Structure 1
Amino acid sequence: MNNAYSNIMLKALVFIACSLFINISHAKQQLVTIVADDSYPPYSYIEDGQVKGIYVDLISLAAQRLAKDYQVTFVAMPWKRALQEVKLGNAFAIIPPYIHTHKRDYIWPYSAALAYERVVAHCHDSVDIRSHLVGNDDARKTPLNVGINAGYLILNERLSQAQGQGLIRIWENRSTKANVMKLINQRIDCYLNDPLSTKWVLKQLSAQDDSLNFDHIHQTIEVMVQSAHIGYSSDEHGRFKYKKDFVKRFDKALAAVKRENALEKIIAKYVP
């Protein structure tokens, strides 16, 4: 009886000691929260209430190398709101912005590149976006309606000039899905975004409704090629004391996992 009691007490003490050790270990970790675009598949998006995506997986993998000191989590939200959270100093970092140091001075620094993305125009077959960029007479009479995701800065110089000349009208819509639906329903003439994201949504919509017709939509001009990053809050008020250390160490961890071809393996998982 005494031996049985002693064994129970020993197990209880071991359990308490382990719990204390785990709690102490977790207490040493600095929680790092990154806000993410909630509707930019396959790079970052919400599915079944979880934050998923190529960049989410890549960052999480690199963050494992810092797990002794940092616990990285993600909160997904609409892109414009995510930018606002960084601007207000409420968010430590955001994914996945391109580098726009003059237009977004509240973001600095940027991480090493997560990946390189292309921005292209998807248009209806009847639309010649090139003619609107050179400004022929027909283009001046009937400006093109071009959709982009709200808060995205993806116009190159030619498109910006065309907008200023009234040759194209830019319409900001909530998400990739919202823009693709407007493109299918001919409420916009063209849509600018990464082709992988656009194709992802087209495939998803096709699986949900096989009556949708995409035959009249084609990829046209390449607008730009940009690197995507973690963008850190400029943190003018010094809220994030760990920022300098995390930024430096995360870039090293990211470089290490990319040397192991982690990015290629993750992309293959999302885009077989």
Structure 2
Amino acid sequence: MKMKGAFTVSLLVSSLMLTACSKGTEQSHTTTQDTAKKTTLNVGSDMTFPPYEYLEDGKPKGVDVEIMAKIAESDGSYQPNWIDTRWANLIPGLKGKKFDVLFSSMYITKERLQQIDMIPYYKTDIALLVRGDSTLNPKGPDDLCGTVVGTMKGTAFATQLQEISEKRCVAKGKAEIKVREFESSPQTTQSLLAHAVDIQYDDAAVMANAVKNLGSKVKVTSTESFYPILGGIGVRKGDTETYKKIEDGLNKIKASGEYHKILAAHGLQEPTADDIAKLMK
């Protein structure tokens, strides 16, 4: 049975989080104006994940969009053409040459590195979001036992939750975590507000953005570290030309200070050499 206010909540979340989800149709968005004599770099992204990447009035916005624009500007020979698609299409699309680059706040994992090459560009962790009026106050992984937790389908989040449930809950005689997966982060937040889940498990910057836009309707309660991890830009294996183009551009905007300004504006961190050695395996 649908809740009486579900439709209103859906509209509220969609407008406040400034995001859009295409339903089965990929959309292309060129983000530079001076297109003369420039080649096109097709950038695959699931643009439903503010503040990293999202659509506002049909235009790509967010941390990743800003960084990619600066990288392209530092080179000057190409323009990024953003192609909005759903998460499950990203790696297959890159391998199938539909995209030249994946720029979608994609976490670097051992499994992904076996399929594509990745250039690290930020460090993040998990945060827990609950409704503003919730009596739950989960601080860390152990507090998720026996709750219904919503997360984004096809991501590392669902795998992490299953691991927490098995090792920290069931193995210790506690109730398992009931994991419910949704197509996008905004849909998960909508389900939280509609009481379909107790807690949202998601990227820390994304959860901070939800609080910023939804105010007292939600709150972040977590204080413990979960899975500190690096986000990376994906490049097809063997495509050394594109890899070097992106890596060189990233290094240029680091040197200019533009990269640090973008990360700082969104509360994100640049990974250290130790972070990369430890987390990019």
Q: Same fold (TM over 0.5)?
A: yes
Q: Which residue of 2 aligns with 1:214?
A: 218
Q: Which residue of 2 aligns with 1:186?
A: 195
Pairing of 1:1-272 with structure 2 (within 5 A): 26=37, 29-68=38-77, 70-95=78-103, 96-102=105-111, 105-106=114-115, 108-111=116-119, 113-123=120-130, 125-127=134-136, 133=142, 139=145, 143-154=146-157, 160-163=163-166, 165=170, 167-206=176-215, 213-214=217-218, 218-234=221-237, 243-267=239-263
Change (3 A) 1:270 1:50: farther
Moved more, 255-264 or 154-163: 154-163
Amino acid across the alignment from 1:145: V
Change (3 A) 1:268 1:223: closer
| Gap regions ≥5 residues in structure 1 | 1-21, 207-211, 236-242
Amino acid across the alignment from 2:249: A
Q: How many residues align?
A: 225
| Superposed structure 1 runs of 4+ greater than 6 Å apart | none
CA distance in 2, matches of 1:251, 1:132: 35
Contact preservation (8 Å) 1:146, 1:170: yes
Amino acid across the alignment from 1:91: F
Change (3 A) 1:179 1:60: same
CA distance in 1, matches of 2:201, 2:141: 15
The TM-score normalised by the length of structure 1 is 0.69
The TM-score normalised by the length of structure 2 is 0.67
CA distance in 2, matches of 1:245, 1:122: 41
Deviation at 1:79, TM superposition (A): 1.9
CA distance in 2, matches of 1:115, 1:251: 14
Amino acid across the alignment from 2:184: S
Q: Which residue of 1 aligns with 2:15?
A: none
CA distance in 1, matches of 2:180, 2:201: 11
Deviation at 1:265, TM superposition (A): 2.3
Amino acid across the alignment from 1:185: A
Q: Deviations over 1:54-106 (max 9, x none)?
A: 111111101112223x3322112222233442354422221221112325633
Deviation at 1:230, TM superposition (A): 0.8
